[in-house]
Amino acid sequence: MRPVTLVVIGLMAGLCLLSSNRTAIAGESGLRPFPLPLAASSALPFDVDVERVRQLDAAGKISEAQREFDILAWQVFLALNWPADADGHPDPKKTLADRTSDRVWGFWRSSHTIFLDDGETPLPWGAPGTDGRMGDLFRSKAAWRQHLTSADENFEAFSGPLVDQNGKWARYEVLVNHEEFDYLFENRLYNLDGQVAFSQQGAGNRVEFPANDVAQKKHGAIEIKLAWKELGPNDDHSRFFVRRVQATLSEPSSTGQPQTRDYDAGLVGMHIAMRTRSSPEWVWATFEQIDNVRVNNTADGRPIHPNFFNPDSKQPVNVLPAKNAVIDPATGMPIPAPAGTTPTTWIESLTTDPVQVQRIDVPAQNGLNDSDAVLAAGTAALNHEVQAALQGGSSVFQYYELIGTQWPIHPSAPAFAGGNASAPDSIRQKTPGMMVPVFLINTTMETYFQKGSQPAGPLEQDDRLADGSPPIDKTPVVGTESCVGCHYSAGMAIGFKRNADGSYQIDPVTHKRIPIFGENGNFGLTGNAAFSWLLQIEGQSAPVDTTAGAVPAAGGKRFTRSPAQFLDILRVKPGQVQ
């Protein structure tokens, strides 16, 4: 059968100038304005008005329903970035003009305090030194695991480092709220052994993160991911939410202890994922600092250099830097790749050429993403509203924007399996729920997912073909990725690989049992992780005694060491950041 080329349809939408009044800023015609005053956004919302959204869906008013989720996204963003009191609650005496206080999200649990070495049991919520602040420190994810690029907080997920226009690497951290932590803790999903036991129990063996319960004043599970860039002398600190950080460098070390460097870091990206009553597939919102990939001007007309884009460069865009190192099995640190070996990772000081980052505009394609451009125009209009209010309040968050919010039009709609000539349905309905918009990426976290023109196969359900395998569906499309489309493939451990004699196979690098992961729920109980990659990427297993029957899968020198910290965010003292 000949591949079917999808018809490209151009959609255009205009934005109007916005004015404000005492209680709300007048929004795009027909769409609800953002609720004011901003002080009302200090409380973390639970969900959209589910009944209102379902009525809008039934009437075909998708733009109006999108506005409800975009408002929710902005309210959550502002609530999480609100200055916190000593207990981690929004401080009613402070406003978003405050630049130095701890933030609400800083009291959440960093993933490295949950998914511990050797699968150890994490301390309960609220235990000293376990929240995002760690006393005088905020600490991000632990574990130096460069053989798993998807778990490396010096790297973007499933790819590698993002190098800014100053030749410096971006850094990342993940945190979860109390409700998600409790679910992971109570079900022992914080390690691979607990996941295997959970998957094999007779009943209730599907991961189901909690949704919000307004009556009980409980939120659903929430995960956030933050992206930071090192601020240089040519960066305008006043346009960033800034924290002093101590970053662990991807550099060789003869002692096994990583090198670190302290610097001022600016927030450049924020993912927010919420499981709610309205959205069993989660609500996915993503924010960026406005100077990431476009040239903006100051109030007096001076151009501001973008963080990850050079308008004068002729380099190809969104290209992953070439690998130049391997992991030293004696230290767990990267070392230059010896002659004749294939590099598997990167050394930071050898990877300083800026990545030319560009947001790939995906055209409307008949039956695939017809509404994406219209929804994006509504989001841009809302951004203007909220940014105007933040500017009036002298808040640094006026320099941030919502890129988009994904949500399910029909939460109970099934997914459509991929296969030969299955596009566009297999992309548009890759996951359950009929999610919109179809494509949504953050340029600081999914830079290298932006392939543009490509066969449909890689954008369909993850079938885990071997690297280099030709796609099954060769239908030509233009696309990037989406938050939910990626997370739908997340799995949990459902067992460990064994040799023919029944002994465990042992990974030669980690010296741990080799887990078998589930994927997603398209075709029954397959060990999916309910849209959270944390279980698969972060979970570790208990050590095994290799003298008691376990046999390594291949040779390898054993080494022991403490996990390195990729990023320590130091608490900023009043007046330290201008």
In angstroms, the CA 121 to CA 215 distance is 31
In angstroms, the CA 193 to CA 495 distance is 8
> At 23, is the pLDDT very low, low, confident or very high (cuts 50, 70, 90)?
very low
In angstroms, the CA 480 to CA 438 distance is 9
Give the lowest-confidence range in 117-121, 284-288, 567-571: 567-571
* Structure confidence at residue 550 (pLDDT): 54
Element (H, E) at 193: helix 192-200
**Residue 224, token pair as written in the block:** 């956030």
Highest mean pLDDT among 283-287, 474-478, 567-571: 283-287
Mean pLDDT of all residues in 530-549: 82
DSSP output for 91-138:
-TT--TT--SSPBGGGGSEEGGGTS-GGGPPPPPTT-TT-BSS-TTEE
Measured CA distances, 222 to 177, 218, 453, 481 (Å): 6, 11, 33, 21
* Structure confidence at residue 381 (pLDDT): 97
Give the lowest-confidence range in 2-11, 186-195, 451-460, 507-516: 2-11
Q: Is the dihedral of CA 335, 537, 151, 428 positive or negative?
A: positive
* Cβ pair 402, 437 in contact under 8 A: no
Highest mean pLDDT among 6-15, 439-448, 502-511: 439-448
**Residue 154, token pair as written in the block:** 């010096």
Mean pLDDT of all residues in 18-32: 50
What residue has token string 């054993």? 558
Q: Strands of 177-298 (E only): list them.
A: 222-230, 242-248, 260-274, 283-289, 296-297
pLDDT in tens, 396-423: 999 999 999 999 999 989 888 888 889 9
* Structure confidence at residue 468 (pLDDT): 75
Measured CA distances, 90 to 136, 221, 335 (Å): 19, 19, 45
For the chain, helix (H) and strand (E) counts, in that order, are 8, 22
Give the lowest-confidence range in 20-24, 361-365, 388-392, 460-464: 20-24
Mean pLDDT of all residues in 16-42: 64
pLDDT in tens, 177-199: 999 999 999 999 999 999 999 99
* Structure confidence at residue 525 (pLDDT): 58
* Structure confidence at residue 132 (pLDDT): 58
**Residue 315, token pair as written in the block:** 């380099």
Give the lowest-confidence range in 222-226, 295-299, 436-440, 458-462: 458-462
* Cβ pair 441, 369 in contact under 8 A: no
Instruction: Report the greatest alpha carbon distance in the chain.
Output: 75
Highest mean pLDDT among 132-136, 366-370, 467-471: 366-370
* Cβ pair 564, 248 in contact under 8 A: yes
What residue has token string 């778990």? 151
- Pick from 356, 336, 357, 332: which is nearest to 346 by CA? 336
Give the lowest-confidence range in 26-40, 156-170, 369-383, 384-398: 26-40
* Cβ pair 223, 534 in contact under 8 A: yes
- Pick from 318, 553, 569: which is nearest to 451 by CA? 318
Cα first-last separation, the chain: 62
CB within 8 A of 239, min separation 6: which ones?
266, 289, 290, 291, 304, 396, 399
Strand pairing report for 551-552 and 505-506: parallel
